[in-house]
């Protein structure tokens, strides 16, 4: 069963003093594009999380968000830049002396200085947090896959209907093929008779040969055979497993190629009308396929 590339999953794992929430958003992309937005302390887990994502998802742009709450969840610490503070104080003293300024450097003044204080996270999260993150990640991925599968069922149903429509239209094109040849013959005879009137007697055998050559140049049998082959390939592809979106996109391009050739070979209004209908269906299929994994 085909899958959509659009999905969403959110899972929270909570303990006594800890709550980990993992949120995943999935949208269209040519390849698997993993974009984690996690606390700095968890950057070392990025490769592990990417491998876990790849177990469930083969194609799409994946945004991953991790939020951690709880007492000392990430062992946050206050960092004071002593060296930078010393430079500030030395500079202030120098300015005071140089410009004969009054007043003392107060703690209130120090707290307003830029880049002196910062809060940093520990580079060593506890095993409990790591376990909670991986558990929440896996369960969120399962939700994403479930949503992508549900959307894939809708895409599958739509594509099968359009596939049937293509099959009916190409049958109509083929049924018209021989009639078009006969009409070509009648037009040629009519034009000859109109031009030469009663002064010309045509050789029926020669005329049939000329019509046969004309029909050969405009014959669409090969295109119809190839088009039907592509229909079968498309059918078998959507019934297979794994990421098939790019394969389906290639087959749709082949649909276009054959129909364009049929259109270029035909001057018949009926065939031209069916070519337009075929192109319309194919274009709609192409739009749907852009969202298939």
Write down the mean pLDDT value for the chain.
Answer: 86
How is residue 105 annotated by DSSP? -
Q: What pLDDT was estimated at residue 97?
A: 86
DSSP assignment of 95-134 = HHHHHT------HHHHHTSTTSEEEE--SS--HHHHHHHH
Q: What pLDDT was estimated at residue 11?
A: 97
Does residue 26 surpass a pLDDT of 90? yes
Handedness of CA 208, 210, 213, 218 (dihedral sign): negative
- The percentage of residues in the chain with a pLDDT greater than 70, rounded to a whole number, is 82
- The model's confidence at residue 197, banded by pLDDT at 50, 70 and 90, is low
Q: What is the pTM of this model?
A: 0.72
- The percentage of residues in the chain with a pLDDT greater than 90, rounded to a whole number, is 52
Q: What are the backbone angles phi and psi of residue 220, rounded to the nearest 5°?
A: -115, 15
| pLDDT one-digit tens code per residue, 139-156 | 999 999 999 999 999 999
| pLDDT one-digit tens code per residue, 38-70 | 888 788 899 999 999 999 999 999 999 999 887
């Amino acid at each position: 069963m085909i899958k959509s590339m659009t999905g969403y999953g959110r899972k929270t794992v909570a303990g006594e003093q800890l709550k980990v929430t993992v949120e995943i958003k999935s949208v269209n992309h040519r390849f698997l594009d993993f974009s984690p937005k996690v606390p700095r302390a968890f950057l070392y887990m990025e490769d592990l999380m990417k491998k876990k994502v790849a177990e469930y998802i083969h194609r799409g742009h994946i945004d991953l968000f991790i939020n951690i709450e709880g007492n000392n969840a990430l062992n946050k610490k206050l960092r004071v830049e002593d060296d930078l503070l010393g430079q500030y104080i030395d500079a202030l003293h120098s300015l005071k002396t140089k410009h004969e300024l009054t007043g003392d450097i107060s703690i209130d003044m120090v707290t307003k200085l830029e880049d002196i204080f910062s809060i940093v996270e520990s580079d060593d999260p506890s095993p409990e947090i790591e376990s909670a993150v991986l558990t929440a990640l896996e369960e969120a991925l399962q939700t994403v896959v479930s949503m992508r599968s549900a959307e894939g069922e809708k895409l599958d149903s739509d594509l099968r209907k359009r596939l049937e429509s293509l099959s009916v239209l190409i049958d109509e094109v083929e049924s018209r093929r021989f009639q078009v040849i006969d009409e070509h013959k009648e037009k040629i005879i009519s034009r000859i008779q109109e031009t030469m009137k009663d002064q010309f007697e045509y050789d029926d055998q020669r005329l049939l040969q000329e019509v046969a050559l004309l029909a050969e140049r405009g014959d669409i049998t090969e295109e119809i055979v190839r088009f039907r082959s592509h229909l079968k390939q498309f059918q078998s592809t959507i019934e297979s497993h794994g990421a098939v979106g790019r394969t389906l996109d290639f087959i749709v391009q082949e649909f276009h190629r054959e129909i364009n050739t049929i259109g270029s070979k035909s001057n018949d209004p009926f065939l031209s009308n069916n070519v337009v209908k075929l192109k319309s269906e194919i274009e709609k299929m192409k739009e749907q396929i852009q969202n298939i994994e």
